[in-house]
Amino acid sequence: MGGGGVVVVEEEEEEEVEVARGGAGKEKRKRKKKYGVLMCAEEEPEYVREAHGGYFKMFVRLLGDEGETWHLFRAARGELPTAADAAAFDGFVILSRALGGKTGRAVNGWDIGVTCIHPSNSTLKLLSSLHIPSHLPVIECHRDEVWELPPNAEVMARSEKTGIEMFRYGDHVMGIQGHPEYTKDILLHLIDRLLQRNLIQMSHAEDAKASLEAREPDREAWQRLCKSFLKGKLPQLKPLPIEDE
């Protein structure tokens, strides 16, 4: 019902340029990063398209910088990039399963609203240069969860309701259960949509709306975190060791 499993990937874009100062021939030089958003949902709410331009534009606004190239791949329709390393911002369960983790319905049921997640001490140390708070509110809308991490992955954060809210796999893959790209109006729309389709009970809707009144999602902190990981701006981040099979 949400972003439908969105994964952000990156690859280098190259161009041929003339060799400077009279040199003969051409050479290839790395010019800039090229990013892609993999949309795993077959449908996108009309409200999201009309009010925000769609999920793709929301991700670009959250993560993009001037001069970058961004592409949309509708994975549910078979549109995929030819090759890429992935860093995930949704599609949390899909990503974990693809890497070898175990997933299923959340033991505690739906998690809808603004949830406060708690980064681990090692995560706070890793992100110390970003000044990430120890309590990090984010909008959630899910009833699936990761039961067991992929081999060699590391839990980055938890919440009172969910034991694995964030994880990383080495220095190039990060999964987040929540939706840093969402705004409150989108969540309100999704709550009404879920209620109309009898996928949640009125009590779920009331609790979710109450959480929106109680706290604000920390979009600025999430933006710093996600952009820094995606664009390799965490110099202290090192790959996790890979165990021999």
In a domain, 105, yes or no: yes
In 3D space, the residue among 210, 56, 195, 218 whose CA is nearest the CA of residue 132 turns out to be: 218
* pLDDT tens per residue across span 202-218: 999 999 999 999 999 99
In a domain, 157, yes or no: yes
**Summary mean pLDDT of the chain:** 79
Instruction: Name the domain count of the chain.
Output: 1
Residue 56 contacts residue 37 (beta carbons within 8 Å): yes
In a domain, 240, yes or no: no
* pLDDT tens per residue across span 37-76: 877 777 788 999 999 998 889 888 988 888 888 888 887 7
- Percent of the chain exceeding pLDDT 90 equals 36
In a domain, 236, yes or no: no
In a domain, 208, yes or no: yes
* Averaged pLDDT, 218-242: 76
* pLDDT for the residue numbered 23: 52
In a domain, 215, yes or no: yes
* pLDDT for the residue numbered 19: 47
CA angle at 127 for the pair 211 and 115, rounded to the nearest 5°: 10
Residue 94 has pLDDT above 80, yes or no: no
Residue 127 contacts residue 225 (beta carbons within 8 Å): yes
In a domain, 243, yes or no: no
Instruction: Kindly state the tokens that stand for 52.
Output: 């925000």
Containing domain of residue 214, as a range?
Answer: 6-14+28-230
Task: Report the CATH number that the domain containing residue 157 is assigned in CATH.
Answer: 3.40.50.880
In 3D space, the residue among 87, 149, 86, 142 whose CA is nearest the CA of residue 117 turns out to be: 142
Q: How do strand 26-39 and strand 69-74 relate by DSSP bridges?
A: parallel
In a domain, 23, yes or no: no
